[in-house]
Amino acid sequence: MAERDCGIEVYLTATPGIGGRLKAEPEDFVVEEVGSPPAEAPDGKYVAALIRSRNWETNRLVREMSRDLRMSRRRIGFAGTKDKRSVATRWFSFEATPEEVGRLRLADVEVLESHRAAKPVEIGDLRGNRFHIVVRDLAVPGDEAEVAAATTLLQLRAAGGFPNFFGMQRFGSIRPITHVVGRHIVRGDYQAAVDAYVANPIAGEDEGSFEAREALQDSGDYKAAFHEFPDSLGFEKAMLGHLAGRPGDFVGALKALPFNLLLLFVHAYQSSLFNRMVSERIRRGLPLNQPLAGDLLLPVGADGLVDRNRWVPVSEANLEKARVQCAAGKAFVSGTLIGTDSAISGGVMGEIEQSVLDAEGVRARHFVVPRIPRLSSKGTRRELACLVGKISVEVSGDTAVLEFSLPRGAYATCLLREVLKDESGLG
């Protein structure tokens, strides 16, 4: 049910799945950023470093690097988050000297190369990601798996891509609650937001964490919980420590978290609503990347990236031209990521977007967050489908190996779920 709770409710293809397990080992999910690092500048104030990490969640990696290097986490930049259970290679920037970065010593973290730079690495500074993925314990014999995977990929290409859902990593693979926290924040219920993050035990997490959260949920004693929570729950303990010293200051407790994590909560809520819109369009049998009158298209810029800040309305007058542009990969049908300035489609897609917002009881004005203004969101739009480019699939026995690249913001697991059709195996 975790996927459905986050708005991922349907499949686009009707082909049989191959089943199997992802991420049996971190080495089964290898991801490398595609893009250019900040240019080398001998007198630059930053150090750009290409870092390979194994089994590290991005926010915790940044926190531990800041501790190890004895610097503020604000002095560390990165382009995008990655799956925790993976081997990930990506660029970071440090407002530091090469000698300081050279002293980084963390288990399963390796600095592959580095140089001085005049600019930091910032969120979005990448073109995409390249993946090498191993799926083990396939549910069907190898020859059947090969045919099923190939048929699914053919159907996805014919459909103009796979559903561009926000994957479960957006919401928390073990504790899919980021969107729940975000929902409470935009509604102004800050205590509920705190409780959803620090309490709220969920089956699947380790026993010590589950029991600590359960005890807090039953007692509501934040001060006692601060002493009882395991040290591994560092973000939670920061919030509890604040509440122990300042009872009732739930806004302050949220502010004890890294800002990019707080922002993720609001974005995750927007993402869950977007997922529900995509699911409903598929459920109605409407194409994801063949425009209809009323749709809003996102053009592809000269840099080859989708421009999510500019949209083109589709009418009966330009419908044929819009379809040609989408078929050529020069534009994409989009859905709203609701915020104060985001647009709602016309036509059937507008009905879908509005029905999801009505069911949730949310409006654009809710994304003004007066108590934490930096969390206010203007919103944007996102393409409903992601093109399937060159992809290789090799099956041997009960194991499949897939290699492919995706543009930034797309989730490999959302492509893989169409091939596997087994939520339990996605990890």
- Alpha-carbon gap, residue 195 to 212, rounded angstroms: 13
CB 134 within 8 A of CB 399: yes
Whether residue 83 lies in the annotated active site: yes
- Alpha-carbon gap, residue 360 to 399, rounded angstroms: 41
pTM above 0.85, yes or no: yes
Please, what's the largest Cα pairwise distance for the chain?
A: 66
CB 133 within 8 A of CB 300: no
State the pairing for strand pair 296-299/46-54: unpaired
Q: Mean pLDDT in runs of 10 for the chain (427 residues)?
A: 91 96 95 92 95 93 94 92 92 94 95 96 90 97 96 95 96 92 97 98 92 96 96 94 97 95 96 98 97 97 90 97 96 97 96 98 96 97 93 96 95 96 70
Question: What's the confidence (pLDDT) of residue 388?
Answer: 84
Beta bridge partners of 27: none
State the pairing for strand pair 391-396/162-163: unpaired
Question: Could you say which of 83, 125, 295, 422 is catalytic?
Answer: 83
State the pairing for strand pair 21-22/128-136: antiparallel
Question: What's the confidence (pLDDT) of residue 212?
Answer: 96
- Alpha-carbon gap, residue 310 to 112, rounded angstroms: 38
Give the DSSP H or E segment for 50.
strand 46-54
Question: What's the confidence (pLDDT) of residue 66?
Answer: 95
